[in-house]
Amino acid sequence: ETEEQFQRTLQLVEEIGFLTVNLAAYSPRPNTLAAQRPNQVPEEDKKRRLQQLKDVVQRCSLEQSRRMRGQVMELLVEGPEKRRPGRLRGRLRNGRLCHVEGKLEELLGRLVPVKITDAFSFSVAGEIV
């Protein structure tokens, strides 16, 4: 991948505005044609590119979370939030992770309307309405 190709990748990721992306730096696989190609991307460039891509994804994801503020959205309550007792976690219809206050025994597995109040890079928080 040339630097120009990588820059086009960054632009595309920004235009699409993915909610989440699984990222990893390329590493050659033994016995593959790609591993045998000349002009491999230097390790320091791989690290820099991966970080740039992570930064773009995080910024785009935060912007999308912020646009959800004030909206009422349907949440499927999946279980307790692991780090904060008394809070629940679930997924919105768009796949975004959402955290709310509530009683697990009453809400587990249910679809509930939630008003989004807080935005984070890869999740939102809200109040059940």
- Read off the pLDDT of residues 112-127 as tens digits, 9 standing for 90 and up: 999 999 999 999 999 9
What digits encode the pLDDT tens for the residues 56-106?
999 999 999 999 999 999 999 999 998 888 899 999 999 999 999 999 999
Helices 3-16 and 43-68 cross at an angle (nearest 10°) of 10
User: Tell me: the pLDDT tens digits for 8-56?
Assistant: 999 999 999 887 888 988 777 888 887 788 878 888 999 999 999 999 9
- CB 109 within 8 Å of CB 75: no
pLDDT score, position 127: 97
- Yes or no: say if 40 and 32 are a contact pair by the CB < 8 Å rule: no
Q: What are the phi and psi torsion angles at 110 (to 5°)? A: -95, 155
Pairing of strands 87-92, 123-128: unpaired
This prediction has a pTM of: 0.81
Cα–Cα–Cα angle for 81, 120, 102, nearest 5°?
30
